Copies of this chain bind each other. A is one copy, B any other.
């Protein structure tokens, strides 16, 4: 826009130093010892001319792309949207870019990942999907780049960033217990899946600590989606309407589905049944009654995952196993103390 491109070469002309000197000076390369005044001069003129290192040059030299890939099931899920948001900003801040691919479950995903790695040369994969999906972990790791699972864990796989799922499940259930509930149902995901299984365990932990007997009849396998939450609530009501005063639902979306069924069937929320969901998003405030949820810092989680991956790529660490423990209850309208 203003003139010719500002490269190390033009800085060299202007200052009289060599390209390589400039390069090392601007990066504070310790292998360079330079007079403070000259260092200052170089930095000053770089600043003045608006020098920006060209990522292409650096990439070529280093044989690196400085790009990460993220594999996400629909961005329309606000939980994932928050995680991606965090990952994006961490990447940009670190001078990386993030390529996001949507992997609708059931679709052929193999090719997407191969493209990401082989064509776009991403150096690492952030995986927010997987397990019982259309790609398996071995296939992914076979692509030859580090993989970090986000909001997921897999048997024997060493890189992950997750929240304290089990503690969160316990927190949710304990909250319901604390406000007087005793007959607490749980709409779960597939128990074999990490998130679902842990949340379910937390539910049981809380019951046990409170001395409440676990009743399998009150647990209904649902799933993570709106429709699955709705269908599961139908089944639960058919089986034991009136048998519970509160329900802990495995996801925000499923909770929305459950609430829609409760209302349809004339069950007041929270009058007859309190509803608690895991994870927080805009959706929680967009349904009525607004949803009480367990909130974890999802944006931070995305950031941590991206930073961790970058640390791995830059050899500052060899693995990442971060668990966010700071879940908290966000009280909204869908829960209330039990009626006496």
Contact = CB atoms under 8 A, between A and B. Distances in A.
A21 interface: no
Contact of A287 (B74, B101, B119, B256): B256
Contacts of A92: 99, 101, 115-116, 120
Given A75-B81, A99-B92, A119-B52, A226 B285 contact: yes
A12 interface: no
Interface residues of A, number: 55
A246 to B, nearest CB: 19
Interface string A242-255: 00000000000100
A1 interface: yes
A36 interface: no
A98 B99 contact: yes
Interface stretch (A55-63, A163-171, A211-219): A55-63
Contacts of A77: 282
A282 B226 CA distance: 9
Nearest to A289: B260
A263 B268 CA distance: 13
A67 interface: yes
A69 to B, nearest CB: 10
A172 B194 CA distance: 43
Interface string A84-107: 110011001001011111100000
A71 to B, nearest CB: 12
Interface string A38-55: 000000000000101011
Nearest to A58: B56
Interface in A258-307: 259-260, 263-264, 281-283, 285-288, 290
A159 to B, nearest CB: 18
Nearest to A99: B97
A101 B88 contact: yes
User: Which of A56, A59, A60 has the most B CB atoms < 10 Å from its CB?
Assistant: A56
B115 A286 contact: no
A226 B120 contact: no
Contact of A76 (B281, B287, B288): B281
A23 interface: no
A5 interface: yes
A19 interface: no
A257 interface: yes
A120 B100 contact: no
A78 interface: yes
Most chain-B CB neighbours within 10 Å: which of A63, A253, A285? A285
A144 interface: yes
A120 B55 contact: yes
Interface of A: 1, 5, 50, 52, 54-57, 59-60, 63, 65, 67, 74-78, 81-82, 84-85, 88-89, 92, 95, 97-102, 115-116, 118-121, 144, 226, 253, 256-257, 259-260, 263-264, 281-283, 285-288, 290
20 contacts: A1-B144, A50-B118, A75-B75, A75-B81, A75-B82, A75-B85, A76-B78, A81-B81, A85-B102, A88-B102, A92-B115, A92-B120, A97-B97, A98-B100, A100-B100, A253-B286, A257-B286, A260-B287, A264-B288, A286-B286
